[in-house]
């Protein structure tokens, strides 16, 4: 459930008319419902009541500090994939011992930063990373807690670009090599083996791939214990999907029941890294119609948001529902919703029956709270959108809209052109 609903044909974010936000802040603008964020986080953590667990929200889904702070105040940790994400989370007040660091390409300076911060553990993605972590930890006089990310070769049945658990993916270490790498890491003086990690993909709509992965991991855990390698944590990543269109993903309660049943005898502390499942339906992107045009019976709605603001449709062919902010349109029309960018791929909706938006009409792209702003860019020198958080009947800007001056900040002319 989310808190974007109509009242008398007008879209509200909690108790605030979306039209009022657009009038004050301008468009395009991302709008987040704090109540929805809290409700989704609570539903996820309650799904694992009775089992020792930590929810480490995936910062890459939505990294605004107000969003991070919302989860941190509820006892959450974070899953990060860069030094920048670690800095954001620390500024938002995260407990370093609730930070796990994933990602295939950690730089030395990022590793040092995380070690000096005292994070819980690194999810290690390759053989060479094990060596580098041991080397850097020794250099700074720290011991690096690690979990090896194991690639179980399970098909998550999702978009190939967000599938991460197959052998052909760049992520993790294969099951066949994991035992040898655990043994090698256990002999390194500056590493402490804490757990095992697995993340098979994003936007999964079935429980079975998660369960299949755990079954494979249990065999590996048994083998490691037989070698004297004891683990404390089982990090199962994220990936539980949401409804964008006609998907029917399992509820967190059903997901939790299945996972708890499959892991109940392991005696391990569970770590989860949800992102989309918590933030996705807690946000919308609001845009304004600039022009409408017709060409050879093809209809286009040109708006002030573009692929640089919401990349998922052009990148993945993803579906985002679109709704009028005020319902006063005259029926439906088959059309594309496109932005001002000079690319044929600049579309947010393609060949869909949508309301007959008129010039200056406001529209909301639904389920945009995850991988919306975080994937945005300045392509075509377009300032990035503002972000707003709503709580009940009040709202505040939590990130100002970029200015054209922001676009050239840090640039300079070489001496021969000055």
Per-residue pLDDT at 163 exceeds 50: no
Candidates 3.40.50.2020, 2.40.37.10, 3.40.50.300, 1.10.40.30; CATH matching 4-31+280-408? 2.40.37.10
Task: Quickly state the pLDDT bin for 114 (edges 50, 70, 90).
Answer: very high
Do residues 233 and 147 touch, judged by C-beta distance below 8 A?
yes
Q: Does the pLDDT at position 402 exceed 70? A: yes
If one compares 406 and 200, the residue with the highest pLDDT of the two is 406
User: What top-level class would CATH report for the domain 34-276?
Assistant: alpha beta
Q: Residue 284: what are its φ and ψ, rounded to 5°? A: -130, 160
- Over residues 103-132, the mean pLDDT reads 97
pLDDT in tens, 243-300: 888 888 888 999 999 999 999 999 999 999 999 999 999 999 999 999 999 988 899 9
Does the annotation mark 56 as catalytic? Answer: no
One fold for 4-31+280-408 and 34-276:
no
The pTM (predicted TM-score) of the whole model is 0.93
Please state, for a pLDDT cut of 90, what percent of the chain lies above it: 83
In Å, how far are 27, 71, 76, 128, 149 from 45, measured between CA atoms? Answer: 34, 11, 9, 34, 23
pLDDT at position 155, please? Answer: 58
DSSP secondary structure string for all residues of 190-243: TEEEEEEE---BSSB--SHHHHHHHHHHHHHHHHHHHTT----EEE----B---
Residues 6 or more apart from 397 whose CB is under 8 A from it?
Answer: 25, 386, 387, 388
Q: Strands 10-13 and 173-174, how do they pair?
A: unpaired
Residue 216: per-residue pLDDT: 87
pLDDT score of 162 more than 50: no
Q: Which of 1, 342, 413, 418 is flagged as catalytic?
A: 342
Is the CB of residue 368 less than 8 Å from the CB of residue 378? no
Hey, where are the domains in the chain?
Answer: 4-31+280-408, 34-276
DSSP run (H or E) holding 89? helix 83-91
Report helix, strand or coil for 318: coil
Quick one: pLDDT at residue 168? 53
The count of C-alpha atoms lying within 13 angstroms of the C-alpha of 37, restricted to the half-sphere facing its C-beta, is 30
Mean pLDDT (the chain) is 93
């Amino acid at each position: 459930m989310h808190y974007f609903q109509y009242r008398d044909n007008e879209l509200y974010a909690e108790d605030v008319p979306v039209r009022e936000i657009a009038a004050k802040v301008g468009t395009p603008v991302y709008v987040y419902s704090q109540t929805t964020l809290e409700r989704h986080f609570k539903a996820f953590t309650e799904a694992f009541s009775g089992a020792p667990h930590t929810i480490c929200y995936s910062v890459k889904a939505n990294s605004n500090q107000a969003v991070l702070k919302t989860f941190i105040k509820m006892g959450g940790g974070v899953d990060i994939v860069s030094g920048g994400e670690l800095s954001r989370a620390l500024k938002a007040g995260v407990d370093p011992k609730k930070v796990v660091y994933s990602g295939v390409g950690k730089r030395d300076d990022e590793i040092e930063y995380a070690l000096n911060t005292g994070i819980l553990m690194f999810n290690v993605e390759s053989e060479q990373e094990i060596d580098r972590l041991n080397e850097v930890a020794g250099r700074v006089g720290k011991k690096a807690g690690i979990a090896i990310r194991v690639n179980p070769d399970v098909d998550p049945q999702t978009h190939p670009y967000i599938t991460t658990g197959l052998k052909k993916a760049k992520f993790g270490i294969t099951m066949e090599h994991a035992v040898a790498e655990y043994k090698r890491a256990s002999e390194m003086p500056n590493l402490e083996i804490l757990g095992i990690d697995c993340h098979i993909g994003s936007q999964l709509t079935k429980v079975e791939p998660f369960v299949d992965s755990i079954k494979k991991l249990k065999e590996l855990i048994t083998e490691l214990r037989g070698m004297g390698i004891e683990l404390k944590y089982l990090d199962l990543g994220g990936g539980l999907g949401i409804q964008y269109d006609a998907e029917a993903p399992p509820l967190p309660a059903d997901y939790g029941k299945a996972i708890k049943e499959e892991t109940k005898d392991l005696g391990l502390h569970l770590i989860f890294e949800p992102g989309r499942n918590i933030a996705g339906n807690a946000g919308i992107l609001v845009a304004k119609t600039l022009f409408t045009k017709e060409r050879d019976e093809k209809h286009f709605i040109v708006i002030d948001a573009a692929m640089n603001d919401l990349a998922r449709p052009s990148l993945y062919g993803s579906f985002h529902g679109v709704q009028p902010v005020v319902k006063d349109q005259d029926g439906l029309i088959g059309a594309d919703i496109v932005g001002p960018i000079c690319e044929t791929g600049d579309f947010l909706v393609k060949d869909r029956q949508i309301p007959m938006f008129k010039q200056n009409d406001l529209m909301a792209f639904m389920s945009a709270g995850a991988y919306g702003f975080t994937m945005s860019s300045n392509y075509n020198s377009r300032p990035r959108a503002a972000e707003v958080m709503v709580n009940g009947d009040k709202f505040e800007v939590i990130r100002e809209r970029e200015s054209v001056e922001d676009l050239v900040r840090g640039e300079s002319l070489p001496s021969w052109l000055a």
